[in-house]
A = this chain, B = another copy of it.
Amino acid sequence: MARAFGADGIYIAGVQDKPLKNSIGKMVDAWGGPFWLEFTASPLSLLKSWKKERGRVVHLTMYGLPIKDVLNDPTFKDANILVVVGGEKVPWEYYKESDLNVAIGNQPHSEVAALAIFLDRIEAGSWESKSFQDAHLNILPSKKGKTVKQFDQKKKAI
């Protein structure tokens, strides 16, 4: 989902979910990339080093500030943004260490939905015209039914 709406990649905290990594690899192989997945055993350290060395950090939470606060903040413009998405029990440190805590509405909702809308807004809907590299499958939009075009170009290792 993150890939479809413009993210470059995703870090997963906690256990190394090999089937997830395989399934993302297969998806990128079929539908194109680039898109990466990495596991991190210390997400809070990642967050801190991202802030220091790479860019800005946004934590999505229903308790946060409106998304326009990010969109209107010049320090986020063209920045590399790390988006932190968790469940209900995100530890306090993530609220504290993130550059901004942002709510996609202050109502209960799915984290997947919040991330999708965040990416859509921050990228100004650029997913609508994004093309992926080295795809073996490509959909031709249809009024009814499913039309998929196959490519037999040389496969690239993922």
Beta-carbon contacts under 8 Å, A97-148 to B? 100-101, 103, 105-110, 112-117, 120, 127-128, 130, 132, 138-139, 141-148
By secondary structure, the A interface counts as mixed
Judge whether A65 is part of the interface by a CB distance below 8 angstroms: yes
Copies in the assembly, this chain:
2
- Shortest A3–chain B CB gap in Å is 7
A110 / chain B contacts, CB cutoff of 8 Å: 1, 112, 116
Q: How far is the CA of A54 from the CA of B146 in the complex (A)?
A: 27
- Taking the closest CB of chain B, its distance from the CB of A113, in whole angstroms, is 4
- Whether the pair B27, A63 counts as a contact (CB closer than 8 A) is no
Once bound together, how far apart are the Cα atoms of A67 and B100, in whole Å? Answer: 31
Is A62 in contact with chain B by the CB < 8 A criterion?
A: yes
**Nearest CB of chain B from residue A91's CB, rounded to whole Å:** 12
Q: Are A63 and B147 in contact (CB under 8 A)?
A: yes
A residues contacting B by CB (< 8 A) are 1, 3-5, 27, 31, 61-67, 92, 95-96, 100-101, 103, 105-110, 112-117, 120, 127-128, 130, 132, 138-139, 141-148
